[in-house]
Structure formats: structure tokens, C-alpha cells
Amino acid sequence: VVGPGRGLTRGPALGHDGVGGVIKRTRWQTLVAVAVAAGSLTYVASQWWLGRGGNPLPISPVIALVLLGLAGVLFSFGRSVRRFVLGTQPGLDPLRAVRVLVLAKASALAGSAQLGFYVAQLIVVAETTDSPGGRALAWSNGFAAGACAVLVGVALLVEWYCRVPPVDSPDEVEGGMAA
């Protein structure tokens, strides 16, 4: 579904003529930039909020479980696409593979933004040790940040799973060589 400098190359999900757009892998530089931008904005807004007498934002520990659940579902979807690409699981709809790829890209970007948010909150909570429930907030933010890191890692792995091997010959068609 995706490859280095290549994108979607074949399949009914691509259009009438079999030519589709290019979907490039998510660059780690983009993910770092998103995390730093989200973290910086969160840190500045949190400092402003605390300076005006507000309390740190409460973070539910359930968030980490939800993010880890999403990572597990994404990994499961990605494994089925990987088996299809390798030829060990025939019959997967190429449109489903594209949807898994788009979910992986969205998860990587959203997880990166959330990672920046939770790390910034963790820093803010660590700086204000006198806040009510500061230790519990620090643990919640730490667990959520760890779950975001796992989600981003799984999303990048699933993107890699969705790569289509390069076509060696113009005679090659879906699933093998032309007779």
C-alpha cells in the first residue's frame, strides 16, 4: 500500500484505471515537530492557567488504557494487512488495507500530539509539587505519555506492514506474474 517514494500501485480501491495517489510514510521528523509544538503550547497555556490561580488539569488513568487498546486493535488490523501483502492471507479487500494505513497515519500524528501534551503536563505537575494530588497527576500523565509512545510506535510499525513490494516487471499483475 505504501513504499519508499511509491504509493498505492494497484487494486480496485485506486480508481478505474488502477492508478492511485501516492501515500508516503510518516516521517519521524514530522512526529517530533508535532509533539514539540503540542507540548510547547500546552506548557505555555498550563503556566498561564496556574499563574491565574487554576489547578493542573486532571488526567484519568483510563486514558492510558484506551490508548493501549487502540494500539492493540491497530496492531491486529496491521497484522492482517501484512499477511495479505506477503500472500499468506488471500482475500483481504484492498480498500480495507488503505483504511488501515490511514488509521495508522492518523494514530501516529494524533498520538504524537497527545504525547507532547502529556509530557508538558507532566513537567508542569512536577514543577508544582504543592498542588493537590500532584503525585497522582504525575503518575496519570506519565502512564498516558507512555501509552501515547506505544501508540505511535505501533502506528509506524503498521505503516511499515502496509508496504507493497516494488513491481519488477510491467507484466506482473495482482498476486503474481502474467501468463
High-pLDDT (> 90) share of the chain, %: 49
**Most confident of the following: 10-19, 51-60, 106-115, 160-169:** 106-115
Q: What is the per-residue pLDDT for 171?
A: 52
Banded model confidence at residue 21, pLDDT cuts 50, 70, 90: low
Whole-structure pTM over 0.85, yes or no? no
**Higher pLDDT among residues 38 and 133, named by residue:** 38
Cell numbers of 98, please? 488503505
Mean pLDDT of 150-156: 97
79-128: per-residue pLDDT in tens? 999 998 888 888 888 888 899 999 999 999 999 999 999 999 999 988 77
Residue 34 pLDDT > 80: yes
> How high is the pLDDT of residue 120?
95
Q: Which of 33-47, 62-76, 121-135 has the lowest mean pLDDT?
A: 121-135
